[in-house]
Chain A
């Protein structure tokens, strides 16, 4: 990846942007190109591309209904794109909207999914399993990891999100913030290359948002690769290396947060953000 003049903004190597941690010459870990998505005849995503380098935290901002979540869900094919390809950690999968996948392709798709851990807005913990059960389910039944080893690793991640004392609780006994932290730990147990967050704090009581953001920020700072769809401007400013701003199914502005959030070039971005700032939301929160 060497910089050339004719590149689209999403292909700008983050190393070219001052202050980035990414080493020059490093290869992207996630690459989505030309993602299109139709719901019926409704054109939801229009040629969305994204490149994420190892260790980067990318946030996707944009108003509700702009296609942010759909794009994220296309990255691990929970939503089948209508066109485009996704490459995550060396596994490339092309959209296959017209036919069902072969057995081999499905196996590769599962590999791709396992390399992209996902955290959902509604947590989606398994209610019939304890906290620990939630965490060891996939390592045991997808990777075939021995039980003891899976438990050991699950416990280390529970410790990581500060919930080791809840290991035997059932999800229904946890608060929303605790559930989301368990969901993050669950995604981590598969040792994914990339973490995808789909509005992880939107279903939370405002008083519980902080504990989840704190975990996410510390993951970002320890060098995890993350793609985060969020409305939390403060998180985007504090933790994001780059911000993708989406409007009507297109990424209209891509760049470091200080550019996209504080000094947007695009009219729509500016409108959206000014409304955010006027509304006195967390966007206004100062960051150190």
Chain B
């Protein structure tokens, strides 16, 4: 652009103006396209939901009186489900922390113990583990009531998976962090506590959230040993009266709602944590 003086500058501004208009049109078109995509996405969802509702209402008559009568009974299971999931995830976090520490330790003995733990609990079905603690251990003279059994089994199983997550999280902290800490004279312990753990924690937080949501659903397995949680109550109410369509649908909706709520809470938490180092995105 060499234009100096009147005429060329006018020509140039016309040229720019023309493309400014084009840029605006592109922006508007892009926006319209993404809006239409979202509308179609939403409509598809609604069609599926409407279809399911129609199916339920047309094939069987939902017994409203029955539902009203049994809903409180079923919902009483929600706190049990939440309590079991919460206690089990807490147990799992403790076990996973110990497991991960053992797995990264230079001592072969705790390392082997943790490795065995992870291998065994990831290598056998969760339902089997629940039944084993409840039904098989009494043969060895160890009798544990239903609720603790459920928490123990879920915690042990999830702890095994989370051990690997925690270990990976610790190892995902760049080695330069450790070197920087050491070069400042920090001991291995201080380095781990002050430098590695806080960074590893951020790395694994989303995974802990995911596992909690998964736990909410897997906790239904302990209905097999008669812990009176959500699924057990749905079955108990539906089976004798042959009204399982109603009770299981209710249970499904409740699980689904809880999952959505927790996923939402989790994504908010993650966004908040990301805001802490929003900086990372900026630069």
Q: Using Cβ atoms and an 8 Å threshold, which residues of chain A touch B183? A: 76, 78, 113, 116-118, 120, 187, 196
Q: Using Cβ atoms and an 8 Å threshold, which residues of chain B touch A110? A: 185-187
Q: Using Cβ atoms and an 8 Å threshold, which residues of chain B touch A126? A: 177, 180-181, 195, 199
- Kindly identify, within residues 27 to 74 of chain B, every residue whose CB is under 8 Å from any CB belonging to chain A: none
Closest Cβ of chain A: how far from B222's Cβ, in Å? 38
Q: Using Cβ atoms and an 8 Å threshold, which residues of chain A touch B271? A: none
Q: Tell me the complex Cα distance, A138–B184, Å.
A: 6
* 0 or 1 for each of A61-89: is its CB under 8 Å from B? (1 = yes): 00000000000000010100000000000
Q: Tell me the complex Cα distance, A187–B185, Å.
A: 10
Q: Are A173 and B186 in contact (CB under 8 A)?
A: no
Closest Cβ of chain B: how far from A267's Cβ, in Å? 35
**With an 8 A cutoff between CB atoms, is A250 at the interface?**
no
Number of interface residues of A (CB under 8 A): 33
Q: Tell me the complex Cα distance, A142–B183, Å.
A: 11
Q: Are B180 and A124 in contact (CB under 8 A)?
A: yes
**With an 8 A cutoff between CB atoms, is B8 at the interface?**
no
A-B contact count (CB 8 A): 81
Q: Are A172 and B184 in contact (CB under 8 A)?
A: no
- Interface with A: B123-131, B238-246, B274-282, which one? B274-282
Given contacts A128-B202, A186-B184, A172 and B280 within 8 Å (CB-CB): yes
Closest Cβ of chain A: how far from B216's Cβ, in Å? 30
Main secondary structure, interface of A, reads mixed
Q: Using Cβ atoms and an 8 Å threshold, which residues of chain A touch B182? A: 76, 78, 113
Closest Cβ of chain B: how far from A207's Cβ, in Å? 15
Pairs A–B under 8 Å by Cβ, sample size 23: A76-B182, A78-B183, A113-B182, A113-B185, A118-B179, A118-B180, A120-B179, A124-B179, A126-B177, A127-B199, A128-B277, A137-B195, A138-B184, A141-B190, A142-B187, A142-B190, A170-B277, A171-B279, A172-B282, A172-B283, A174-B283, A175-B283, A187-B183
Chain B residues proximal to chain A, CB less than 8 Å: 174, 176-177, 179-187, 190, 194-195, 198-199, 202, 277, 279-280, 282-283
